[in-house]
Amino acid sequence: MGFNRFSLLLSIRVCCLMASVALAAFLWFTPGYTATFVLTVIVAVGLGFETRKFVSKTNAELTRFLESVRHGELTQRFAYPEFGSGFEKLGETFTGILSDLQQKRTEQEQTLRHLKALVEQVPVPLLSLYENGEIVLWNHNARKLFGTVLVKDKHDLAHFSSHLATTLVNIRPGEKELVEFEADGSTHKLTVSVSHIIIAGKQEKLISLQDINSELGLAQLQAWQALVRVLTHEIMNSITPVASLADTTSHLVKDIKQNYQHSDMLLADLDDVEHAADTLSRRSNGLMQFVGSYKKLTRLPAPNLQSVKVNELLEQTIAVFAQSWQQKGITIDMQLGSAPILIDADRSMIEQIIVNIMHNAEHALSQSNNPKVTIGVHLTKRSRCVIEIADNGPGVADDIISKVFVPFFTTKREGTGVGLALTQQIMVAHGGQVNVRNLESGGACFSLVF
């Protein structure tokens, strides 16, 4: 009915316009009506402009509506109460359409924000590699992986690993590759997987990079624990009765010697038997103690994490060595810095690690001139705390540097191979890692990365 009103008003205007035009034409050919003719022409022109304005209003508002949709200006409102209910209904329709579009846009933006939040929380670094070599980092873990280095192109990956860029370019969907990644002085092992997607005709590789260092370390330690558990169990089962029998034999020989004190030849033979039994008992007990030390690797409790001031921890732990090392001529250089650094750690476990590394350093410096141990702490670009303990000794031989954290492996005559294996296990339990490298200036450096 509203539209009928609009049609009626338009029809009235058109009829009035046609009537005024017809009247003006009639008066033009009738003499003596000049003034009336002029007035009729003025009325006709006015009606023409009014009709045009009346009709153009709809087109103008339709154009404004379409422009609002085109440019995303969805807050526009359309109201025409002065033009009657027909235009008012048209305005309500336009306004309703824009409101629906605005609501859908809001829902899409909320969905997009939700998806972005989900991607940000994904624990695996995600990035896209385009055909032109452009790289886009999608989440926090991807940005964290590369630290302060701005990665926008595949050539920027050369800062970390030349093999990484080649792998990302050549890897195919469905394949998985293992690459090494150098960052903050530590080597990370990454598994690379990729998917191909096409958006708006633009092809890209969606790549995930998963750091499996901690998983590999944990799996390796669990394997060693299982092996050590089996070995200690089997060895203890075998050696315990041997030690018991050897001890019993030694006591029996002593009793026999007391009963046959006047037989010199028998006593001599019994001395040999007693010596052999004592040796067997002593070696068996020594082996039992040796095996017992490895039980530490299978019984490490979960760390009791507390906030620990690193500088204070190092100063108090190193103080244990200060006096004895001064007498041995070993210099301690503390490079802790003034900024306080806090870590979540089990204080007693970390003290045990530091003490063990310090003892190793002392052993390495036994034949060095001007022996010196340097202790430092700093934060990496990824805000990881790193404690470094370095000596100026001979360093670690290249052929054994990869074995120093393996249980049972030791270069010391009286060593058991437990200390550094236990160190690695403690660091893995803290979600960190321990590394060793030789310094160009000489000596070895152990790094505890939290």
One DSSP character per residue, 210-273 reads: EE-HHHHHHHHHHHHHHHHHHHHHHHHHHHHHHHHHHHHHHHHHHHHHHHTTT-HHHHHHHHHH
pLDDT at res. 267: 58
* β-bridge partners, 377: 387
- Residue 207 corresponds to which tokens in the numbers above? 């790549």
pLDDT at res. 375: 92
Write out pLDDT tens, residues 179-191. 777 766 566 777 7
Question: CA–CA distance from 110 to each of 73, 104, 116, 274 (Å)?
Answer: 18, 10, 10, 86
Q: What are the sequence ranges of the domains in the chain?
A: 2-116, 123-211, 216-298, 306-449
pTM confidence score: 0.52
Q: Would you mind telling me the total number of residues written for the chain in this entry? A: 450
Which amino acid is it at 447?
S
pLDDT at res. 79: 64
Round to whole Å and give the CA distance between 365 and 394.
8
Contact 409, 210 (CB under 8 A): no
Instruction: Report the CATH number of the 123-211 domain.
Output: 3.30.450.20
pLDDT at res. 307: 92
Instruction: Compute, in degrees rounded to 10, the torsion defined by CA atoms 142, 147, 152, 158.
Output: -110
Q: What are phi and psi of 400, to 5 degrees?
A: -125, -5
Round to whole Å and give the CA distance between 206 and 108.
22
* β-bridge partners, 193: 176, 208
For the cut 80, the answer to whether the pLDDT of residue 340 exceeds it is yes
pLDDT at res. 343: 92
> Are 123-211 and 306-449 the same fold in CATH?
no
Topology of the domain comprising 216-298: Methane Monooxygenase Hydroxylase; Chain G, domain 1 (1.20.58)
Question: In which region does residue 76 sit, left (phi positive, over 0), alpha (psi from -120 to 50) or beta (all else)?
Answer: beta
> 108, 115, 76, 120: which is closest to 94 by C-alpha?
76
* Beta carbons within 8 Å of 236's beta carbon, 6+ residues apart: 288, 291
- Residue 367 corresponds to which tokens in the numbers above? 């034949």
Write out pLDDT tens, residues 18-66. 888 888 787 777 777 778 877 888 888 888 887 777 777 667 767 777 7
Contact 422, 297 (CB under 8 A): yes
- Residue 143 corresponds to which tokens in the numbers above? 């940005």
| Mean pLDDT to the nearest integer, 189-197 | 82
- Architecture per CATH, 306-449: 2-Layer Sandwich (3.30)
Token pair 């990079």 in the structure block, residue: 209
